[in-house]
Amino acid sequence: MERKACYFLLPMASTDKETEIELARDLLAGNMGAFDRFVEAFHSRLFQYTMLVCGQREDAEEVAQDTLLKVFENFGRLREPEHVRAWVFRIARNACLMKRRKSTFAPTQELSLDELMPVAGDRGGERKFELPDRAELPDTKLLRSELKDVMTEAIHSLPDLYKTVLLLRDVEELSTEETAGILDVSSDVVKTRLHRARLAVRQKLDGYIRAGAN
């Protein structure tokens, strides 16, 4: 039998982390010419994160700006510019927690692996995946627009424990170890939460995933 070695493995993420690292090194070296680009590089990224965590635009903008302020207040303590993104998002995470403590405290909620398994269908007991026919789906442009809304809702509706891991690992493309460091949990906990978060999002995106994959 021919091996399909690593056929399904995810590709390495292509990111602009290198640019961020260079900008951080420049600032640490006192080159203030990198300041505007550093702010540009992180402001939108931080806003995306805080928007999905906080849910309200006003809160998200406030927390993103607070995070930038704390980043620059503590910039002299940045020891490893190669991990600048993880360092910035640790500060963002803490800023979100502070904001959350000041507002309604949402209870933590666990996602069960069993509930995320695909359901058994009726084709003689064979599993089937409940995906609509592509012909029933809207055109590509509308699909993309709707997909963004569905994605936003799918991610935002995740319990906070899972949402944060998904955002840091998949959206911000931080490593398992970096994410574990930010959240002060073990790497195994990060892996478990990430898997359940991805499964929960997949469950909510069924039809859109099928259309995009064809």
Partner 1 sequence: MSHQHGAQSEDCKELFGRLSEYLDGELSPEACREIEEHLCDCPPCIEFINSFRRTIDLCRRFEPSGAPAPVSPEAKQQLLAVLRRALDSRESPHR
Q: Which of 174, 183, 177 is nearest to 17 (CA)?
A: 174
Contacts to partner 1 from residues 8-37, by CB under 8 A: 8-10, 13, 27-28, 30, 32, 35-36
- Interface segment toward partner 1; rule CB under 8 A; list 16-24, 94-102, 104-112, 196-204: 196-204
User: Could you tell me the two tokens for 204?
Assistant: 């909510």
Please report whether residue 210 would count as binding partner 1 according to CB under 8 A.
yes
Between 77 and 107, name the residue whose CB sits nearer to partner 1. 77
Q: Which of 41, 14, 15, 16 is nearest to 27 (CA)?
A: 41
DSSP state of 122: E
Instruction: Tell me whether strands 126-127 and 120-123 are parallel, antiparallel or unpaired.
Output: antiparallel
Instruction: Tell me the per-residue interface mask from 47 to 86 with partner 1, x by CB under 8 A, - otherwise.
Output: xx--xx----x--xx--xx--xx--xxxxxx---------
Task: Tell me which of 54, 92, 174, 201 binds partner 1, using CB under 8 A.
Answer: 201
- Rounded to 5°, the CA angle 132-159-191 comes to 85
Cβ count near 47 (within 10 Å): 18
88/26 Cα distance (integer angstroms): 16
Please report whether residue 189 would count as binding partner 1 according to CB under 8 A.
no
Contacts to partner 1 from residues 116-175, by CB under 8 A: 117-118, 120, 124-129, 131, 147-149, 151-152, 155, 166, 170-171, 173
167/55 Cα distance (integer angstroms): 14
Between 21 and 199, name the residue whose CB sits nearer to partner 1. 199
109/198 Cα distance (integer angstroms): 16
CB of 137 to partner 1, least distance (A): 14
CB of 159 to partner 1, least distance (A): 16
Between 100 and 210, name the residue whose CB sits nearer to partner 1. 210
CB of 82 to partner 1, least distance (A): 18
Please report whether residue 209 would count as binding partner 1 according to CB under 8 A.
yes
The kind and range of the H/E element at 127 are strand 126-127
